[in-house]
Each structure stands twice: as structure tokens, then as C-alpha cells.
Amino acid sequence: MMDFLEQPPRFLFFTGKGGVGKTSLACATAVRLADSGRRVLLVSTDPASNVGQVFDTQIGNRLVTIDAVPGLTALEIDPEAAAGAYRERIVGPVRGVLPEDVVRGIEEQLSGACTTEIAAFDEFTGLLTDDALIAGFDHIVFDTAPTGHTIRLLQLPGAWSGFLESNDNGASCLGPLAGLEKQRQQYRAAVAALADPLRTRLVLVARAQASTLREVARTHDELAAIGLQRQYLVINGVLPAAEAAGDALAAAIVAREARALAALPGAVAALPRTQVPLKPFNLVGLPALRALLDDNAGALSTTPAAPANAPGALPALATLVDELATAGHGLVMLMGKGGVGKTTLAAAVAVELARRGLPVHLTTSDPAAHLTETLEGSLQQLTVSRIDPHAETERYRAEVLTTKGKDLDAHGRALLEEDLRSPCTEEIAVFQAFSRIIREAGRKFVVMDTAPTGHTLLLLDATGAYHREMARHMDKSGITHYTTPMMQLQDPAQTRVLIVTLAETTPVLEAARLQDDLRRAGIEPWAWVINNSLAAASPTSPLLMRRAAAEWAQIDAVRNLHAQRLALVPLQAEEPVGIARLQALAAGQRHS
């Protein structure tokens, strides 16, 4: 039973950790509704949207009719274009009015990922509140719902006016939010629509994996706390138990998924739930989308041909660790989409370096990471830490109120306190902790498991803003020799960035976009790691064999188009938890 499709309201939002299948489910839902005679608008707010690829249609930032599905129209909101228009709307009227250095300061505050997120929200709130714009549609289906981060921003109650002409504390949400003042009525209406179960259904998408289920539980709690109480749960890609017969790998996956689902937290377990079985085919094209929800997969059973070059042509993770170890120290950062296994791979790299007698500090900036649970043990040369966003934020707030706030009057202090309650404050505080830790990389290895891509980009924004501010101060002072965290990240002799992905379309697209963002920041990724590969695991289950063969298109895309160095890590029969299994993962043999 597809509970989330029963008596659907006008607005449906699909949200969840990266790589869980939000786009596929949103597209399949839109097709199902259109096939039933409804007029449907499908909207993607994902920067790495592949909705156009799914329908084999060029879409972009405009309404496009999907000819093959009568009644279906699609729109891909371009966050970068939205951010550009948003910046110009704010900055344009003050050019030539305010001093040039003030205008540059405003542009600087509006250059980060926070502005991009807010601008994208600005775009699609019109789809929630502009009756004239959506009058022709019975349903609006959103791929990637608004984040709790953005909604919390919009609920901050203060009256912001004018522009923040200086900001010595780091990046702030109030710069981007200054442009929202005239539209606060629209935003209040949008948030109200999101919280109204008669108008909006929020669908949480997860996989039957402990990490994604923990993430969906956090998302549930955060959104419920801001009024989005009525939620549905979809567990996507569950391996059918029948596939376990005669295949040890498939049997281990079936057992692992059953354990994860049995351990669902109570609040999430109580939600209306739908389980969608794993399909043997890529979810591209209308037949695949219709089969996703109808389970009509018979016509899609053709197995893709595996290429002549087997996985043995690709190095294992051990090859990258060998090369990393030669430097003796440095910063190793694992980046990528949520759900690709960064925490496990960071732990495996750190364990293997420590096993070789090298001093290693393993840390994470991901609030959802559980490094100690992954390690389940200790090594003599290995220290482990976690950048606790809550603790770092409280420390940062206290510091700012003690310094910047000590001479303010009551009104000024109240505005400063409100600024410090915004979610971006957490990003600044995490950046400061990050800066402290990476200084250790001059004498030991620092292996960092970063937060999912969007949060990582916010961290890089803060790093870049700090670098530019420091450079201006140093230039004015005549100081020519200095090092900022950004300079360390840009130095390939000090920092190695490993981009982690899966051999699937959406994770590879997002990883490629992350690589482009890093290059624009002057950071050249050192290597790519394709994790949890079925092609490298040699399954015998018919369904898994077909999925393994389908991976090769993405493996070849990474190898030929994106990566300077590449490692292929097979899907493990047992979860790589504990020192021994992490060592085995890092030293994994090549598969032929």
C-alpha cells in the first residue's frame, strides 16, 4: 500500500538524506497523479537536479510540458540563477548611492551558500502562495523540500532594516535576510502552508540503513518542532527477501536491513510507512518510473552488458592510503553527498595510517556522524574528536556577546542576540573549531569526515570570507607572510580532498558539482572513491547482478571524466564497523 499517495493534498514535498531516491519517488508520484487525470507541476529545487535526465527532456528554470505524460509540467529552480537575481535585487538600488566599499561589503555577505539557499526558497515560496501562478494545477510535487535550516531563518521574529555595513564576526544570515523584509508576509503564508496537513504532505524518504534512518529521525524531530507535524515515511530500495537464496552478500543485506528497520525510533516508527522494493533497473524513463510504484518490472528486465574491462583495472582504497602515507602528515578531507559512506571511509583511512605507526587525529564536522560507534575500539597512534555544533555555537555566542555586545544598548544587544540565534551562527562556530583542528596537520595526519555537501560548502564560504577579510587587514598593515585556513586548503602539499560517491547517477552528478565548486574556490580534489560498489562485489543474486552491471556507466564516467585518481570499494557483506573490519576495508583486495 502506497500510504503517502492516499488522498494526496495539493502540495507534496519529498525530503531525505542524499542518495535515498527522492527525485525518483517525486517523479514517479507526479507521473502517477498525471496518469490519473490530474494536472501536476513537478518542481525540483535540487542544485544537481536530474529531473530532465529522468524524462529525457531539457527543463531548466522555466515551465516545460512533458509531452509524453499528458497533464504533467516540470520546472527546475536554478539556485545559482536565483541567487544572482536575488543579489541584484538587493544591491542594484544602492550602487552609486552608498560608498563603493560598503557596496562591496554587501556583495560579500550575499556571496555564500546561505544566500543561495534563501534565494531558492524565495523562488518556490511563490509556488505555495501565488494563486495566479499555480491556478492551473491540481498538485504541486516538490523534489527536495525546504530545509529546517531555512524555515528557522524565516521564523526569526526581529525587524531587520537597511544593510549590515560591517561584520567583523564572520558570515551572518542577516545580510542575506535583509532582502526578505518586504516579503515577510509571503514567507509567513508559505510557512503556514507547509504546516497545514490539509494543503501539504511532507514525505520523508530513507533507505533501510542505520545511518539514513538516524538522519530521517532527526529531520522528523526538527520539522515537527517548527510546526510540520503531519509526515509520511517511505523506505526506498528494500532488497526483497527472495534474493537472499544462494547469495551470501544478498542474505547479509536482507538481514542488515531487517535489523535497521526493527530499530526505528518510536516517533518515526509510528508514521504512516511505505516500503518500496529495490528495482533491478535504473530509474530513468517513463516505463521505469511507472514500474517503481506499480511493481510492473517485467518489461524492464534486460540486463545491461558488463564492459570488457573488469573491476580489477581499478585500484583499491589501499593504493590511495599508500600514497597518502608517504607525506607523513597533512590534512585529508572526505567530502560528498549524504549517505555515500564518508564516515566509514574516513575511519578506514585513519585506522590504516595509524596502523602504520603514523600519528592521526580523526575528526568530523558532521553532526550526524558516529565515529566512535564506527571504530568500536582504539589504536595507540589514533585520537578521535567530534566538532560538536551545539557546544561550539554556545562558546561562540558567549564570546561575541562578551566582546561585540559589551558596549551595546539594550536594543542593539537584542538584535545581536537574535543574529546569534540564527542557524548560520552554527556554521561560523563550526568554522572556528575547524580552523583550530586543521592547524595540527603540520605535524600529524588530520583525517576529517565532513558534513554532507551543502553544509561543507557553507563551511568553505566561511573559510573564504575569513581569508578575504584577513588578507585585506594584512595588506593594509603591510604584512606579506601569513597563512589562512583557505590557503592551507588550497595547498596540495598540505591538503588532500577525497570525493566520495556511489556508482549511481545522482551521487555522481552531485560529486561532480562539488568538484566544480571546490575548483572555483581554488581547491583541487586529489582523488575520488566509489564506495559500496556491487560491480566490485561479484553478487550472484539476479537482481544484484543486474544492478552491478548498471553501475559501469557511472564508474566509467568517474574514471574518464572526473577523477585524477580513483579507488573502487566493494559493498561489504558485513557492515565495516570495528578496527579489524575497517583495516580490512582499507587494505581491500582488487576484484577481478
Residues with a known catalytic role? 19, 21-24, 46, 506
Give the Cα separation of 547 and 569 in Å (integer).
Answer: 16
Q: What is the DSSP string of 331-348?
A: EEEEEESTTS-HHHHHHH
CB 69 within 8 A of CB 106: no
Residue spans of beta strands (DSSP E) within 245-393: 273-277, 330-336, 360-364, 382-386
CB 413 within 8 A of CB 405: yes
Q: What is the DSSP string of 112-161?
A: SHHHHHHHHHHHHHHHHH-HHHHTT-SEEEEESPPPHHHHHHHH------
CB 551 within 8 A of CB 534: yes
Residue spans of beta strands (DSSP E) within 281-329: none
- Quote the cell numbers at residue 5: 499517495
Alpha helices in 439-525 (DSSP H): 453-477, 485-490, 505-520
User: Length of the chain in residues, anyone?
Assistant: 592
Strands 360-364 and 231-238: unpaired
Which phi and psi (to 5°) does residue 232 adopt?
Answer: -120, 150
Q: How many CB atoms lie within 10 A of CB 479?
A: 11
Question: In terms of Cα–Cα distance, which of 301, 302, 208, 283 is closest to 31?
Answer: 283
Which residue(s) pair with 14 in the sheet? 143, 203
Helical (H) or strand (E) element with 564: none
Q: CB within 8 A of 580, min separation 6: which ones? A: none
CB 232 within 8 A of CB 204: yes
- Quote the cell numbers at residue 135: 491556478
Give the Cα separation of 143 and 46 in Å (integer).
Answer: 7
CB 324 within 8 A of CB 332: yes
CB 199 within 8 A of CB 193: yes
Question: In terms of Cα–Cα distance, which of 555, 353, 381, 363 is closest to 459?
Answer: 363
Angle at 360 between CA 522 and CA 579, to 5 degrees: 120
Q: How many CB atoms lie within 10 A of CB 516?
A: 11
- For cell 598593515, the residue is 477
CB 34 within 8 A of CB 40: yes
Between the alpha carbon of residue 584 and those of residues 320, 344, 355, the distances in Å are 14, 12, 12
CB 79 within 8 A of CB 64: no
